[in-house]
């Protein structure tokens, strides 16, 4: 039987950046208040929105990490994932439906499990700046989700 162990991610990250010459350790995000709320209606009546860290596979999406909103449908044939961290030796991102469940959500909508899928899904850049995430990206994603009248947001990091 293979030995099971935890990867000390935070310690390894600190040591990596110290080795790079950084004198101040990264301050990990900590939120005093969790911005989650109980559902106000059943899932069968709720609109579901999707937020992903993959970018549109367009000239702009490949060169500019920014917030994008993409119409749903159609489901895109590909997304730009090359600059993201995922285990490329054991998986791939050739099948968009394997990591952004738009097709599955459409099936759930057709079966009445969810009320509806939002008309757009949203791409948000992965940032190491907590300030930029909290002050810019998160409020803009929230604004777009509210504009789409989303009741439930599904976060799909890659």
Residue pLDDT, tens place only, 49-81: 999 999 999 999 888 888 999 999 999 999 988
Q: What is the pLDDT of residue 29?
A: 74
Q: Which of 41, 95, 50, 90 is nearest to 71 (CA)?
A: 50
Q: Which residues make Cβ contacts (< 8 Å) with residue 114, sequence separation at least 6?
A: 43, 44, 46, 47, 48, 105, 108, 152
Residue spans of the domains in the chain: they are: 37-156
pLDDT confidence bin for 27, thresholds 50/70/90: confident
CB neighbour class for 145 (10 Å; exposed up to 12, middle 13-18, buried from 19): buried
- Three-point CA angle 41, 123, 66, nearest 5°: 135
Q: Please give the model's pTM, rounded to 2 decimal places.
A: 0.81
Q: Residue 28: is its pLDDT beyond 80?
A: no
pLDDT, averaged across the chain: 88
pLDDT in tens, 104-129: 999 999 999 999 999 999 999 887 67
Rg (CA), the chain: 18
Q: Which of 107, 97, 110 is nearest to 156 (CA)?
A: 97
């Amino acid at each position: 039987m293979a030995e099971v162990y935890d990867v000390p991610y935070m310690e390894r990250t600190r040591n990596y950046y110290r080795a790079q010459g950084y004198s101040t350790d990264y301050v990990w995000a900590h939120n005093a208040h969790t911005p989650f709320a109980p559902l106000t209606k059943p899932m069968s009546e709720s609109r579901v929105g999707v937020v992903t860290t993959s970018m549109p596979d367009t000239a702009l999406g490949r060169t500019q990490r920014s917030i994008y909103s993409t119409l749903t449908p159609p489901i895109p044939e590909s997304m730009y994932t090359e600059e993201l961290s995922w285990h490329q030796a054991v998986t791939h991102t050739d099948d968009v439906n394997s990591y952004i469940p738009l097709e599955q959500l459409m099936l759930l909508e057709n079966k009445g499990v969810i009320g509806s899928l939002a008309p757009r899904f949203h791409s948000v850049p992965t940032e190491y700046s907590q300030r930029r995430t909290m002050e810019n990206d998160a409020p803009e994603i929230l604004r777009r989700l509210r504009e789409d009248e989303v009741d439930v947001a599904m976060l799909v990091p890659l």
